[in-house]
């Protein structure tokens, strides 16, 4: 018993801490945790022969730690961890106790307490690799983009992840551990830290940093769904967008999610399909790309997704105007800039069908998603127009309701599908009344769209 009592566990303790909470997490969150835990456990099991390491100062301290780590109720575990930190303030395992608390708060979805505990742990045990690992893993899972403290939380998470990377670089292979065991442990932790750095950069719209960090995480863990998904987003939202790398990484994320049967599999697959079809003009070839990405981490040197051809004229002036704006705004370069200079702030309106209605960011406001093209009408969850409206009657609108709308063009997005955003929106009063009475509007719509001030020429080579 004495040997077990004094055996250092700083590499291996993450295994018991992590595995204890895995079962309570969504299935999608488990693969990286299990990998990290398994690698850490393999290396930590060999660490008893290390020359230096944390030590138990008493049998009571050891027993208290064991009771805390074996507790399955997260609320009780938090109480035990707080008691351990208070009673054994000089313990070599204080950082591991903070890691237990971080994971317990994550298990109960208490993001605020998790970040508060991480801050306390960073002060009390700044060199705790397990504490930094825990917060770096769980932060992307629980982060709330609408939290008033989000900027401070992002800065803190970035600091923990970078500190964790620095600590990993200082690790020495334990005596008795094989090179493979040690390298697996290092890679598992390094992937978690780089993934967290990439996640933070993505939230801050620093896509270049996100791409660098997420590619590093991908190199250490080529099977993590969310690393590839976030990497795809970083490429997609770069300026200019790198559609080929975005599509490849999103395709691999979709294939990994499908193979792992994660709860987010359908959503990731849908997003990939939308991005692919938006870029290519149809879904033809999309499944082939996904099959390729399932078998390879990197795309072939000549991988390229052909851009969609310009829309053919439909004979409908309203739809043709919309397609013209879409083609030019997707073209990039001077063509995109010139079209946007002409279009921004101009009135736009016509007939369409409600796709969905959601509450707006301010009280009494609504965001009405409207389908105007046949393509959007045929696809669930895809829309052409985002109308910001203050009319109370918007609450009565339902999916499929015909509407006539007006607004001022204020923004657009090309991904995952092309959408025009209209401010100062207004829906025809008769249509709102019909929606409230569950009736059809009687009058056909009269489309309006801005008249270009000058011709827009497509840039050569695009």
pLDDT tens digits, residue range 97-124? 999 999 999 999 999 999 999 999 999 9
List, in sequence order, the alpha helices (H) in 221-343: 225-236, 243-260, 265-280, 286-295, 317-331, 333-343
Residue 363 reports pLDDT greater than 50: yes
The end-to-end CA distance of the chain, in Å, is 72
Other Cβ atoms less than 10 A from the Cβ of 75: the count is 12
Q: Are residues 106 and 250 in the same domain?
A: no
83 and 127 part of one domain: yes
Query: Is 324 part of any domain?
Result: yes
Statement to judge: residues 262 and 234 lie in one domain? yes
Residue 449 has pLDDT above 70, yes or no: no
Is residue 71 included in any domain, yes or no? yes
The verdict on residue 213 lying in a domain is: no
Do 11 and 67 belong to one domain?
A: yes
Query: What average pLDDT score do residues 290-308 get?
Result: 95
Residue 444 domain flag: no
Lowest mean per-residue pLDDT among 151-160, 383-392, 411-420: 411-420
Of 11-25, 30-44, 308-322, the range with the highest mean pLDDT is 308-322
Residues 198 and 286 in one domain: no
Of all helices (H) and strands (E), which one includes residue 142? helix 129-142
Q: Is the model's pLDDT at 7 over the cut of 60?
A: no
Instruction: State pLDDT tens for residues 314-342.
Output: 999 999 999 999 999 988 778 899 999 99
Task: Say if CB 457 and CB 347 are below 8 A apart.
Answer: no
- Name the domain boundary from 208, 241, 256: 208
Question: Does residue 29 register a pLDDT over 50?
Answer: no
Range of the domain at 430: 317-436
CB 391 within 8 A of CB 434: no
What is the number of structural domains in the chain? 3
Residue 216 maps to a domain: no
Token duo for residue 93: 């395992």
Last residue of a domain, one of 240, 262, 295: 295
Q: Which pLDDT score, from 0 to 100, does residue 342 have?
A: 95
Which element (helix H / strand E) includes 348? strand 347-359
Residues 229 and 271 grouped into a single domain: yes
| pLDDT at residue 51, rounded to an integer | 41
Which pLDDT does position 41 carry in this prediction?
A: 41
Between 157 and 53, whose confidence is greater? 157
pLDDT at 444: 54
Q: How is residue 142 written in tokens?
A: 């629980």
256 and 184: one domain?
no
Res 459 pLDDT > 50: no
Q: What rounded mean pLDDT belongs to the chain?
A: 85
What DSSP designation does 309 have? P
pLDDT surpasses 60 at 212? yes
Average of pLDDT values for 68-75?
Answer: 92
Candidates 186, 184, 208; CA nearest to 198 is 208
DSSP H helical ranges for 1-72 = 2-6, 13-22, 30-44, 59-70
Q: What is the CATH number of the domain that holds 430?
A: 2.40.50.140
**According to the model, what pLDDT value does residue 284 have?**
93
Is residue 59 located within the same domain as residue 11? yes
pLDDT over threshold 70, residue 455: no
Residue 443, pLDDT score: 55
pTM of the model: 0.74
Residue 161, pLDDT > 90, answer: yes
Q: What is the pLDDT of residue 176?
A: 82
pLDDT in tens, 233-292: 999 999 888 999 999 999 999 999 999 999 999 999 999 999 999 899 889 999 999 999
434 versus 173: which is more confidently predicted?
A: 434
Q: Give the per-residue pLDDT at 445.
A: 56
pLDDT surpasses 70 at 170: yes
Higher pLDDT, 47 or 151: 151
Q: Which token pair is 367?
A: 């965001």
């Amino acid at each position: 018993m004495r040997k077990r009592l004094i055996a250092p566990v700083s590499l291996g303790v993450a295994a018991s801490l992590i595995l204890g909470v895995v079962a309570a997490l969504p299935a999608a969150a488990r693969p990286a945790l299990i990998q990290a835990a398994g690698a850490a456990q393999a290396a930590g099991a060999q660490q008893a022969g290390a020359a230096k390491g944390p030590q138990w100062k008493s049998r009571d301290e050891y027993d208290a730690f064991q009771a805390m780590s074996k507790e399955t109720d997260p609320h009780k575990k938090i109480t035990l961890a707080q008691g351990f930190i208070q009673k054994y303030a000089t313990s070599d395992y204080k950082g591991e106790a903070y890691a237990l608390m971080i994971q317990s708060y994550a298990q109960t979805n208490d993001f605020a307490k998790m970040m508060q505990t991480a801050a306390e742990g960073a002060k009390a045990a700044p060199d705790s690799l397990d504490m930094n690992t825990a917060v770096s893993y769980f932060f992307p899972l629980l982060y709330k983009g609408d939290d008033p403290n989000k900027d401070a939380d992002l800065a803190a998470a970035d600091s923990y992840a970078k500190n964790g990377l620095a600590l990993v670089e200082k690790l020495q292979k334990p005596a008795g551990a094989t090179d493979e065991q040690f390298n697996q442990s290092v890679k598992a932790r390094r992937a978690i830290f780089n993934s967290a750095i990439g996640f933070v950069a993505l939230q801050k719209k620093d896509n270049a940093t996100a791409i660098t960090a997420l590619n590093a995480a991908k190199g250490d863990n080529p099977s993590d769904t969310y690393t590839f998904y976030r990497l795809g987003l970083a490429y997609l939202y770069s300026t200019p967008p790198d559609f080929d790398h975005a599509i490849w990484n999103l395709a691999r994320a979709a294939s990994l999610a499908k193979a792992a049967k994660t709860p987010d599999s359908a959503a990731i697959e849908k997003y990939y399909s939308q991005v692919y079809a938006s870029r290519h003009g149809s879904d033809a070839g999309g499944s082939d790309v996904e099959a390729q990405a399932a078998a390879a981490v990197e795309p072939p040197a000549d991988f390229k997704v052909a851009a969609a051809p310009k829309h053919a004229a439909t004979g409908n002036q309203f739809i043709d105007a919309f397609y013209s704006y879409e083609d030019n705004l997707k073209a990039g370069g001077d063509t995109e800039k010139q079209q946007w200079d002409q279009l921004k702030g101009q009135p736009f309106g016509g007939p369409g069908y409600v796709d969905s209605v959601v509450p707006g960011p301010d009280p009494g406001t609504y965001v009405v998603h409207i389908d105007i093209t046949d393509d959007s009408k045929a696809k669930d969850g895809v829309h052409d127009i985002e109308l910001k409206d203050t009319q109370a009657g918007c609450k009565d609108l339902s999916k499929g309701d015909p509407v006539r709308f007006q607004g001022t063009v204020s923004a657009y997005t090309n991904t995952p599908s092309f959408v025009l955003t209209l401010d100062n929106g207004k829906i025809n009063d008769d249509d709102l009344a019909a929606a409230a009475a569950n009736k059809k509007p009687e009058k056909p719509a009269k489309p309006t769209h801005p008249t270009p001030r000058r011709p827009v020429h497509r840039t050569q080579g695009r």
